[in-house]
Structure 1
Amino acid sequence: MLAPYRRLFARPGTTAFTLAGLLGRLSMSMTGVSLVVLLAERRGSYALAGTVAAAGLVTGAVGMPVIGRLVDRFGQARVTVPAALYNVVPLIGLLLCVRTGAPDWTLYLCWAACAAAPNLGGMARARWAHLLRDRPEDRHLANSFEQALDEVCFMTGPVLGMVLCTTIAPEAGLLTAGGLGAAGALLFAAQRHTEPPLDDHPATGRHGSPLRVPGLRVLTLTFLSTGMIFGALDLTTVAYAQALGHRPVAGPLLGLVAAGSCVAGLVFGALRPRGTARARFLWGVAAMSGLLLMPLAAGVGGAGLALLGAALFAAGTGTAPTMVTGMSLLQDLLPQRQLNEGMAIAVSGILVGISGGSALAGTVAEHAGPGAGYGIPAGAAVLALLLALAGRRHLGPPAQEPERVVGVAH
């Protein structure tokens, strides 16, 4: 199954930027749980930890597209290096404020100021889109591999953060995440020979936001609904395990979701893509909607943790093909000069969805049965399917602007 991926890394420099980007993404996956553990331990409040984390998600959703636009205009290295160095400052400020007992508002300010973190996952996909612009099948393979890397980080990052915070010091998780993030970003920026070139046209007054492309709006709304799935699944699974008296099992259960997505992403990438990307995307969202009925049935039916784990693994297999094909569509719809900003907008949609899904799931967990919250990810998947179907005519390459298509041979 892994044999097709070898040809991706036969190209010079691909291994280096992939490993550097992996460090940065591992850092991002560690920060959430590390922040919560730190504030819960030092300030004694999970509520404070949750609201500070939410503030960071909101500013991140706003700041990420801004960084993406700067990357498209000035280049990856010229933006990534100062952004990575700047981002260390508010992180250290947060740790100092916690340590010195500063007022709560300083925590919100420092964490919100961390919104300049470069989106290394999006920049790595932009590099693949440039390197494989004449090889759409290999681009599909690369997007699948990148999605699998995301899932590996989601599985290992929170565990690493928790271990550091509980065995060394509550600050150890964020300190390590900050160091890994800065190192990964700087090493990534140093790989200049694989960096996509800047557009050779004047950068002023010729195009606005990539959201003017209808297909990106459809994809962003669909990804927002997908983010609601992630957020609701996480919180509902924790609440369900706690209601059964097995809260420590919540971590492994959530790991099964990520494992299912990782395996599905690798298998999906190894398969030869058939049909149009639009058709594959619609089928992927439909499959995701059907598979998410399984955790709902297991949770509401009281099937137990073992069957719930199997249902969560199966549900996870539906998300990777949807995300992989969605990113491929995005690369087809946008010109290279707006690709980083467009990917950042899509990821921002996911972040907003995660925040909203967590909030809804928390409300349901307090006022309904322990398994009822699994209705939220199932409903969010149906919403994603309806949005994709409603906007499907916008998900094909622009018919009258073939020069905008990235990665399609003319």
Structure 2
Amino acid sequence: MLSNYRRVFAVPHVLSLLTWSLVARFYMPGLMIAVTFLVEEWTGSYTFAGLVAGAFTLGMALVGPLRGRMADRGRSDRLVLVCGVVFSAGLLALALMPGALWWLAVPLALFSGVFGSPANQIVRALWPRLTFGAERNAIYAAEATTQELLFVFSPVLTAGVVAYAGPRWALALLSVLALAGAVGFALSLRRAGVSSPVPGQDASASSGTAPRRSLLRYPALCVLLLMSLLLVCGIVGVDLVVVAWANELDSPHYVMVLASVWALGSLVGGAVAGGLKGRPRLMRRSLATALGLSVLVPFMPPVVHLPTPLWITPLLFLSGVAIAPTVAAVMGRLGDVSPSNRRAEAFGWLASGMGVGSAAAGPMIGALIDGFGVAGGAAGAAVVASLAAALSVFVPASGTEAGSGSEPAPEGSVAGAARNVDTAREGA
């Protein structure tokens, strides 16, 4: 299994690009934690906190396909810098906002979210330009696995600052990290010489005279987009449940442990899945994810009041094991069913679908927590994840639906999904 990951270190510029892209999106997992604590402190409502947190991801979702085309046809380093500066300023403004004006946080979060980091989309579109064959397979597997490290360390850092300095300072820290990551990633793009579009790409994109059929008219793609929306809604819902549980106990430091253990399970699952042979079974993995979320419900208040939330950490670890493999299988299947010359656009839509799911999770799960407690929020997350698993039955197994010329998916789950991504962009 490790041989798949060693290859990445021999490719020039790959390590720098991978590292700085991770730094540029380091703020993402911790953002909901800081925003939830801050807005709940202002309003006493998780529903309002979810509205603000959801506005950030909704803003990112609105511009997914458009920003992908901008990166394809213009200077990606400039796009990263502009987004980094505006987004960091938005976070800083939210951190300084008086609590009495909390309602202004919703439009501010929506506007700031439009300028969320495009590093995830850009870096995954670069790997086909820098790597080939086995090296490309290795870098996609390594990127899919190391991304889970963000969900281990970002919540720890954010929750730690919330516990010892308050949510305003946590948002200020995330603002600084977002800006530093944007600058570092832009400089890394320039050093690698990949900040400009591929020669001839812009011309080829505009050479056709016939109007192109919208990707939303392909049934297989629409099912995958809806499935990813529901899947992410459930995953983000559990993040909000963990924050609410810790906040009710007036112990923000529990978020550091619970969120990190859950992400660690996903990290281990993704790493192991990357070394498995055979095509990933999307239906089985999505069912495993739904089951993992469902088993959490009976062990949360008000169903059961554990002496400490730390007792649920082994179950949280097992619950997270299927998440990264499931998301990787979704990406791989999208690469299968999308037209080979429009994968970037398809993955832009996937990023938007995931963003909408994340945005919807905030107010929906927040309302369930307000009305039925922490277990009610967990139950809602499990239900939407189960709906996503049900939709997986309707996803075709190969790329015969939406185009021709699709490269067959290689063996391996995370690694296989990575090679199917090819030039695609994904912002979740």
TM range (shorter): 0.7 to 0.9
Farther-moved stretch of structure 1 (53-62 vs 158-167) = 158-167
Match of 1:172 in 2: 172
Match of 1:2 in 2: 2
Match of 2:425 in 1: none
- What is the aligned length? 396
- The Cα shift of 1:264 comes to 0.8
Match of 2:398 in 1: 396
What letter corresponds to residue 378 of structure 1 in structure 2? A
What letter corresponds to residue 123 of structure 2 in structure 1? A
Matched, 1:219 2:224: yes
Q: 1:156 aligns with which of 153, 158, 163?
A: 153
CA distance in 1, matches of 2:306, 2:49: 32
Secondary structure of 1:270 counterpart: coil
Match of 2:234 in 1: 229
The gaps in structure 1 that reach 5 residues or longer are none
CA distance in 1, matches of 2:321, 2:97: 45
Secondary structure of 1:12 counterpart: coil
2:36/2:49 contact within 8 Å kept: yes
Matched, 1:84 2:57: no
Match of 2:423 in 1: none
Report matched runs for 1:8-407 at 5 Å.
8-35=8-35, 44-45=42-43, 50-72=50-72, 74-75=73-74, 78-89=75-86, 91-92=88-89, 95=92, 99=96, 107-114=105-112, 115-129=114-128, 134-135=133-134, 141-163=138-160, 166-167=164-165, 170=169, 172-190=172-190, 191-193=192-194, 197=198, 198=201, 201-203=204-206, 205=209, 206-241=211-246, 248-272=253-277, 274-275=278-279, 277=280, 280-299=281-300, 300=303, 305-335=309-339, 337-368=341-372, 370-389=374-393, 391-393=394-396, 395-398=397-400, 401-405=403-407
Evaluate the alpha carbon distance shift between residue 292 and residue 40 of structure 1 in structure 2; reply closer, same or farther with a 3 A threshold: closer
Superposition CA RMSD, Å: 3.5
* Deviation digits for residues 180-203 of structure 1 (CA, Å, limit 9, x no counterpart): 232244134323359873365242
Evaluate the alpha carbon distance shift between residue 307 and residue 105 of structure 1 in structure 2; reply closer, same or farther with a 3 A threshold: closer
CA distance in 2, matches of 1:91, 1:400: 39
Secondary structure of 1:292 counterpart: helix
- The Cα shift of 1:63 comes to 1.6
- The Cα shift of 1:267 comes to 1.1
What letter corresponds to residue 298 of structure 1 in structure 2? F
Farther-moved stretch of structure 1 (292-301 vs 229-238) = 292-301
Evaluate the alpha carbon distance shift between residue 264 and residue 196 of structure 1 in structure 2; reply closer, same or farther with a 3 A threshold: farther
- The Cα shift of 1:110 comes to 3.9
1:130/1:196 contact within 8 Å kept: no
Farther-moved stretch of structure 1 (185-194 vs 115-124) = 185-194
What letter corresponds to residue 204 of structure 2 in structure 1? H
Secondary structure of 2:405 counterpart: helix
Task: Give me the identity figure in percent.
Answer: 26
Q: Give the TM-score of the pair, scaled to structure 1.
A: 0.81
What letter corresponds to residue 375 of structure 2 in structure 1? G
CA distance in 2, matches of 1:264, 1:310: 14
What letter corresponds to residue 224 of structure 2 in structure 1? L
2:225/2:353 contact within 8 Å kept: yes
- The Cα shift of 1:258 comes to 0.5
* Deviation digits for residues 288-315 of structure 1 (CA, Å, limit 9, x no counterpart): 2333332124334666634421111111
CA distance in 1, matches of 2:61, 2:344: 14
- The Cα shift of 1:130 comes to 5.2
2:91/2:175 contact within 8 Å kept: no
What letter corresponds to residue 317 of structure 1 in structure 2? V
Evaluate the alpha carbon distance shift between residue 61 and residue 54 of structure 1 in structure 2; reply closer, same or farther with a 3 A threshold: same
2:336/2:399 contact within 8 Å kept: yes
- The Cα shift of 1:387 comes to 0.7
- The Cα shift of 1:352 comes to 2.0
- The Cα shift of 1:164 comes to 5.1
- The Cα shift of 1:5 comes to 0.2
CA distance in 1, matches of 2:291, 2:40: 37
- The Cα shift of 1:80 comes to 4.3
1:228/1:354 contact within 8 Å kept: yes
CA distance in 2, matches of 1:399, 1:195: 32
Evaluate the alpha carbon distance shift between residue 321 and residue 196 of structure 1 in structure 2; reply closer, same or farther with a 3 A threshold: farther
Match of 2:414 in 1: none
The gaps in structure 2 that reach 5 residues or longer are 411-418, 420-428
1:64/1:344 contact within 8 Å kept: yes
- The Cα shift of 1:232 comes to 1.9
1:333/1:405 contact within 8 Å kept: no
Evaluate the alpha carbon distance shift between residue 142 and residue 301 of structure 1 in structure 2; reply closer, same or farther with a 3 A threshold: farther
